[in-house]
Structure 1
Amino acid sequence: MLAFGQKSSVNRRRIIIRVVIASFFILFCFGILIYRLWDLQVASYQGLSERAERNRLSLVPISPRRGDIVDRNGVVLARSYRDYTIEIVPAQIKDVNALIEQLREIIPISDLEVRRFKRRLAGAHRFGSVIVRHNITDEEAALFAAHSYRFSGVSLKARWVREYPQGESAAHLIGYIGRISDKDKEYLEKEGLEGEYRGTDVIGKKGIEASYERQLHGKPGWEEVEISASGRPVRVLKRTDPIPGDNLRLSIDLGLQKMAEGLFNNPRSPQRGALVAIEPKTGEVLAYVSAPSFDPNLFIDGIDVENWRRLADSEDAPLLDRPISGTFPIGSTYKPFVALAALELGVRSAETRVPDPGYFEFGGQRFRNAGRAVYGPTNMHKAIVVSSDTYFFSLGPLLGVDRLHDFAIQFGFGKQTGVDLPGEKRGILPSKEWKRKAFKDPKKQVWHTGETISVAVGQGYNALTIMQLAQATAVLAANGVYMRPHIVNWLENPITRKAEQVVKSPEYTVPLKPEHLRVIKSAMTAVTRSGTARSVFAGANYVSAGKTGTAQVFSLKGSRYNAAALNKRLHDHALYMGFAPVDNPKIAVALIVENGGWGARVAAPIARKVFDYWLSPTRPITPEYVSPFVDEDAEAESSPDVEVPAETPKNPEDNMSEVIPDILGATSDPPHRDNTSSENR
């Protein structure tokens, strides 16, 4: 009995101990729970509530409307319009191909659109939204909305789409937009602009679209959207409207632009070349032609490989922006500036007569006049009017290449003129220093006096742009006042309704003596009255000044030039520069017709029609002109017999990376484009 009592006492103590331990354990657990509740409700309340709010709310970017681009009269050149798209989030889709087939049962999706989608998909973030079809009509949008419950991860969205209603007209100066590439993203991150492009997947790639990207793009807006646990939007709580980009009003006149383009693009005789027209007093670019051209609408959502190869592989190089990226010898159009340099530097007076037997002999070599013409004793006025090569051959050694370089660069030759377009080349305005840097072989680094002879007639190592020639002509017309050439005339803010002028005052003035300017302008006026362009400008109701030019493509080496026996690509380039009216210049023009032949016969008629159009008191809105191109009889109408360098290295400062567009359907690297035949001759 005693033993039983002792055993019960021991069991009771064990039970008590277990109860105490269990109680302490329960209290400990409650203590942890209470501490955790306190931590969640008090200590971490602020942070956790913000995180919960962020999970409940989503910030959705709203892309801004890109600014419009219009010509000087308000004609639309580029605009943005609203478009519906069908977009897919890759992370929410298991079988993309099956999904596309299901979508095709509701709305049509072409094979090209599928290729575009898969190309975008390859470079997209898996949680990002990828367009599978755009230009959705209202009927298609309603049909998809009715079946949207079947397609998880697929949504109907609205976006801004760029359109170029003028097609190929003015394409090189307007440029185009394209998808934001990895290189673009690196640039935006470097500049701290990535936040400005939330919700935007395109950026300016070429032309005005690229150079005025920041002004055109605008600023994105935001929507604070409440979302459900499944991730679907419930309601919009707050909205900040986007700020649209500025509208650009260009100095270009579309009527003049299309008329000039038509002269190059006659279907019966299409020509390659460039033309730039500038208002001398303001620097406004009135026309900017690069022929042949392309349709910028092809690049908006990515160009298909067939169209890309057609453009990139064409020997006519339609993607080359000829006025600023093509470099050429400018031939006799350089002579007025060489003559002005001789006057300003005191090398030769205007009255000095130089014998012209039809050639200039130097170092045992004869440099002959074009067509082997003989002009006899020739002063400066006559030399410009009849385009005596011998007269200017003789000026070369007297001026020297360095002094000629330093004088000509003031007019815009051999440097970037400052025009508001990307990719402008400096070209080559030769000097002794340039040659030392351009050639690696020490023997080729030495400048020879005989090389200045070809340079003095716009040949030799000269490789200049038509923009430079047009700007130099405008500066000459404005008596030395250098107004920066510009395509965009006004920036128009659609919110404030205020406009800002881009260029307001001259950059500098070239110091020129009035009497020297009178000599040059008088001679250039005589060119159109009694000189090489007299037949072209006969009957004009205004007085213009100009200079024809014919640039040699290869060395004749003493033989006669015979166009009929040559490949078209070896024909001389035809050039013209001039301004009108002489007393109060309103337009300055420079142009080239590649391999066109004689400047007076091919290039001058184009300038005449441009002057007629712009100076007409009843300027037509849609003028119709017939192309002036004819087959030339070049037996007697050729460039001077000069030495054309076999090797002309490019200016190293012109080595700029090329923008490759988004090419859809390509399975290999983009095709190589060789524009050397057009860029540097």
Structure 2
Amino acid sequence: MKARKRVAIRNHSAEANLFARRTFIAFMGVVVLLLLLFSNIFDLEVTSFEKYQTRSNKNRIKVLPVEPNRGLIFDRNGVLLAENRPIYSLEIIAEDVDNITETVAAVSELLDISQDKQDKFLKNLKQKRRFKPVELHPRLSDQQVALFSVNQHKFPGVFIDARLKRYYPFADLTTHTLGYVARINQRDAIKLEEQGQTENYAATRNIGKLGLEKYYESQLHGTVGHQAVEINNQGRVIRTLDYTPPVSGKNLTLTLDIELQMIAKRALSTKRGAIVALDPRDGSILAMYSNPSYDANLFVHGISTKDYKKILNNRQLPLINRTLQGYPPASTIKPFLALLGLEEKIINKHTKIWDPGWYQLENIEHKYRDWKRWGHGWVDLTHSIEQSCNVYYYDLAHKLGIDRISTMMEKFGFGDYTGVDLHEESRAIMPSAQWKRARYNQPWYGGETLSVGIGQSFWTVTPLQLAQAVSVLVNKGQIKVPHLLKSVSHLSAQENGEASIMLTEDVSYDERPPIVIKDNKNWDLVLDAMHNTVQKLGATGYNAFVGAQYDAAGKTGSAQVASIKQDEKYDAQSRAEKQRDNAMFIAFAPYEKPEIVVAVAIENVAQGGGATNAAPVARQMMDQYFGKRVIVSTDSSRHPHHSKQYRVKPVKKSGKR
């Protein structure tokens, strides 16, 4: 008989308790998880809202810099010297083009785009996203713009982009003064970072490289703007959320007179040289031209290697700004030495020396020659400047000594920066015994002092220094800092819905301590002699200013640039061009109340000197400046040989002043 299987009786109460415990544990787990979830949501939405919103916006919103318009530059009469012109470039978005190779070929054939530009485009295309525009041609002509506009419907994805680029309407006429802008390079980027200006140049491609464009870069550039745009996960712009417009750079009005600048270029023609004209009343530069020059517009768009080599290898050296380069001053410094001689009581207005045509130091065989081989005979102070007598200044320099000469000439600004608003200025050289010892470790010799006495030896001056020194002379010791900037203009900020207006601020310049001399009559003695140089029949500058409608004064100079033997006669035609003399001239007018000072330097003239080459150039500058005005000396008792009447002839004035 089989045993009966035992059946266990289920404990429903125990099972119910177990289930309840498990349910409670699960419920508590869910509650904890929900609490954690809500806690995390609270942290995301409340506690850390700003933090994560910022992260989100960084992924969704992109802030793009907007380039400001560069300030314009005008001459003193409102003539535009540097402007911003629209440049049209041809660009392609590859994503919108079915066959990029065929499209590039077709467009290039239509617009006559070179193969080099096509190859460069295809190379750049590989480095950018397909929805980003890539430049095919950087600068379209008006004809190309018109031609493409007519055929644009044939080329989806191809479009013309316009932006502003610097343009100099007068090309080479203003290059050495205005300078130019060009693409920002690595050196510029490092400098901007050091100055903390990197962000302000985030959208800027070009920066001032030379001249006023570089000196006043901070005023001309302006302030960068911004636009906030929404982008998708691929970086494509969906819409613009916010826009902060850039602040345009300030406009500059210069002291330059562009018509006077034109006369300077025409007067120099094919000659190498420089002209500086300034107003001695305030130091404002009216003209500043170096010849030859070059077209700055070539550098704005990125000069080609071929064009750059052409300029760099030009034997006329157009890259040099000759207005800021040192030249031997020659006889133009004789009035300054005469003033020093008067101050030191080594000479007076009646002091005379005998000029046999040469000067000789004691126990020295070498003879220092006068430009007139047979000499000038008995020469006093006035005659020495009128006739530019070398022997008189050999003797004066020997008695003064190099230390007294250099100390006084430094007060006139020789051998130092003038303070002009250009970084390219040279100090030139004002030699002294200490200077020679420091530079060459050699003693100073007496013969070198004699050469300094006629503006030779180591002494060099820039045309700008020379013009400033004449300005100090006519102002009788008052020193005005030469400058190119006259005023600055900018738009006022909008307030209460009012329209912006253009505000113009004149620029003021501090004066340097004046030169104080023992006897103020000495100024007049020297200035009178310079007056005679131009107004007295037979004086060196007379022929150049015959019939002038204004009462001018000046001083000629001819600088020897290569040594000649003791008994050798100088013949320009038999010498290499680089060994020919330089022609120098300084002038001011009107004599009683000077308004303009002109300094002229012309290199390696074929024949003649300052009187025949440089003085006529200064005459053209002054003719342009004064136009039809007649200004003559009114005090005939002070200058008895000036009592003649000036016959006035009408002079065509090419523009207003």
Which category describes the TM-score, using the shorter chain as reference length?
0.7 to 0.9
Matched residue, 1:493: 490
Task: After TM superposition, give the deviation of residue 473 of structure 1 in Å.
Answer: 1.2
CA shift in 2, pair 1:364/1:82, >3 Å: same
Distance 1:70 1:133 in 2: 31
Find the residue that maps to 1:342 and give its secondary structure. Answer: helix
Task: After TM superposition, give the deviation of residue 82 of structure 1 in Å.
Answer: 3.2
Work out whether 1:587 is the aligned partner of 2:584.
no
Q: Is the contact between residue 486 and residue 503 of structure 1 (CA under 8 Å) also seen in structure 2?
A: no
Q: Is the contact between residue 106 and residue 144 of structure 1 (CA under 8 Å) also seen in structure 2?
A: no
TM-score (norm 2): 0.83
Matched residue, 1:484: 481
Distance 1:335 1:125 in 2: 70
Matched residue, 2:382: 381
Task: After TM superposition, give the deviation of residue 514 of structure 1 in Å.
Answer: 2.7
CA shift in 2, pair 1:145/1:201, >3 Å: farther
Which of 522, 546, 561 is the equivalent residue of 1:553?
561
Distance 1:583 1:124 in 2: 70
Task: After TM superposition, give the deviation of residue 461 of structure 1 in Å.
Answer: 0.2
Task: After TM superposition, give the deviation of residue 47 of structure 1 in Å.
Answer: 1.5
Equivalence map 1:232-251=2 (5 Å): 232-251=236-255
Q: Which amino acid aligns with 2:528?
A: S
Task: After TM superposition, give the deviation of residue 553 of structure 1 in Å.
Answer: 0.8
Q: Is the contact between residue 454 and residue 460 of structure 1 (CA under 8 Å) also seen in structure 2?
A: yes
Q: Which amino acid aligns with 2:612?
A: R
Task: After TM superposition, give the deviation of residue 452 of structure 1 in Å.
Answer: 0.9
Instruction: Show CA shifts across 1:326-365 (max 9, x none).
Output: 2110101111111111112323222111121111111332
Larger RCO (CA within 8 A; separation ≥ 6): 1
CA shift in 2, pair 1:171/1:468, >3 Å: same
Distance 1:125 1:292 in 2: 47
Matched residue, 1:611: 622
CA shift in 2, pair 1:97/1:72, >3 Å: farther
CA shift in 2, pair 1:290/1:608, >3 Å: same
Which of 567, 570, 573 is the equivalent residue of 2:582?
573
Matched residue, 2:76: 72
The size of the alignment, in residue pairs, is 607
Equivalence map 1:219-230=2 (5 Å): 219-230=223-234
Matched residue, 1:413: 414
Q: Is the contact between residue 84 and residue 141 of structure 1 (CA under 8 Å) also seen in structure 2?
A: no
Task: After TM superposition, give the deviation of residue 157 of structure 1 in Å.
Answer: 4.2
Matched residue, 1:527: 533
CA shift in 2, pair 1:106/1:541, >3 Å: closer
Matched residue, 1:667: none
Q: Which amino acid aligns with 2:613?
A: V
Matched residue, 2:641: none
Q: Is the contact between residue 116 and residue 302 of structure 1 (CA under 8 Å) also seen in structure 2?
A: no
Work out whether 1:175 is the aligned partner of 2:179.
yes
Aligned residues: CA RMSD: 3.7
Distance 1:219 1:134 in 2: 25
Task: After TM superposition, give the deviation of residue 166 of structure 1 in Å.
Answer: 1.1
Matched residue, 1:673: none
Instruction: Show CA shifts across 1:631-680 (max 9, x none).
Output: xxxxxxxxxxxxxxxxxxxxxxxxxxxxxxxxxxxxxxxxxxxxxxxxxx
Q: Which amino acid aligns with 1:606?
A: V
Distance 1:401 1:120 in 2: 64
Distance 2:236 2:425 in 1: 49
Find the residue that maps to 2:182 and give its secondary structure. Answer: strand
Q: Is the contact between residue 255 and residue 621 of structure 1 (CA under 8 Å) also seen in structure 2?
A: no
Find the residue that maps to 2:403 and give its secondary structure. Answer: helix
Distance 1:567 1:121 in 2: 55
Work out whether 1:166 is the aligned partner of 2:170.
yes
Q: Which amino acid aligns with 1:502?
A: V
Matched residue, 1:338: 337
Distance 1:34 1:276 in 2: 81
Q: Which moved more, 1:60-69 or 1:292-301?
A: 60-69
CA shift in 2, pair 1:613/1:453, >3 Å: same
Between structure 1 and structure 2, the one with the greater Rg is 2
Task: After TM superposition, give the deviation of residue 554 of structure 1 in Å.
Answer: 1.1
Q: Which moved more, 1:570-579 or 1:216-225?
A: 216-225
Q: Which amino acid aligns with 1:311?
A: I
Equivalence map 1:110-509=2 (5 Å): 110=114, 131-136=135-140, 139=146, 150=157, 157-265=161-269, 270-324=270-324, 326-362=325-361, 363-439=364-440, 442=441, 444=442, 446-495=443-492, 496-504=501-509, 506-509=511-514
Distance 2:436 2:126 in 1: 47
TM-score (norm 1): 0.80
CA shift in 2, pair 1:392/1:216, >3 Å: same
Matched residue, 1:652: none
CA shift in 2, pair 1:122/1:610, >3 Å: farther
Q: Which amino acid aligns with 1:532?
A: T
Q: Which amino acid aligns with 1:255?
A: E
CA shift in 2, pair 1:236/1:461, >3 Å: same
Task: After TM superposition, give the deviation of residue 45 of structure 1 in Å.
Answer: 2.7
Distance 1:131 1:364 in 2: 74
Q: Which moved more, 1:287-296 or 1:502-511?
A: 502-511
Task: After TM superposition, give the deviation of residue 483 of structure 1 in Å.
Answer: 0.9
Find the residue that maps to 1:518 and give its secondary structure. Answer: helix
CA shift in 2, pair 1:506/1:46, >3 Å: closer
Q: Is the contact between residue 107 and residue 144 of structure 1 (CA under 8 Å) also seen in structure 2?
A: no
Task: After TM superposition, give the deviation of residue 40 of structure 1 in Å.
Answer: 3.5
CA shift in 2, pair 1:158/1:427, >3 Å: same
CA shift in 2, pair 1:604/1:236, >3 Å: same
Distance 2:109 2:74 in 1: 41
Q: Which amino acid aligns with 1:540?
A: A
Instruction: Show CA shifts across 1:588-640 (max 9, x none).
Output: 111111001411111111111111221222775548xxxxxxxxxxxxxxxxx
Matched residue, 2:644: none
Q: Which moved more, 1:472-481 or 1:176-185?
A: 472-481
Q: Is the contact between residue 96 and residue 156 of structure 2 (CA under 8 Å) also seen in structure 1?
A: no
Distance 1:347 1:122 in 2: 80
Task: After TM superposition, give the deviation of residue 27 of structure 1 in Å.
Answer: 8.5
Structure 2 residue ranges without an equivalent (≥5)? 493-500, 630-650
Task: After TM superposition, give the deviation of residue 576 of structure 1 in Å.
Answer: 0.5
Distance 1:308 1:126 in 2: 35
Task: After TM superposition, give the deviation of residue 80 of structure 1 in Å.
Answer: 0.8
Q: Which amino acid aligns with 2:344?
A: L
CA shift in 2, pair 1:150/1:251, >3 Å: closer
Instruction: Show CA shifts across 1:249-300 (max 9, x none).
Output: 11111111111201212xxxx1100010111111111111100011111011
Distance 1:122 1:18 in 2: 63
Instruction: Show CA shifts across 1:503-534 (max 9, x none).
Output: 35533322243311111111111111231112
% identity of equivalent residues: 33
Distance 1:590 1:308 in 2: 31
Q: Is the contact between residue 419 and residue 484 of structure 1 (CA under 8 Å) also seen in structure 2?
A: yes
Task: After TM superposition, give the deviation of residue 430 of structure 1 in Å.
Answer: 0.4
Find the residue that maps to 1:355 and give its secondary structure. Answer: strand
CA shift in 2, pair 1:273/1:90, >3 Å: farther
Q: Which amino acid aligns with 1:465?
A: T
Find the residue that maps to 1:588 and give its secondary structure. Answer: strand
Task: After TM superposition, give the deviation of residue 4 of structure 1 in Å.
Answer: 9.9
Q: Is the contact between residue 356 and residue 378 of structure 1 (CA under 8 Å) also seen in structure 2?
A: yes
Task: After TM superposition, give the deviation of residue 135 of structure 1 in Å.
Answer: 4.1
Distance 1:143 1:52 in 2: 44
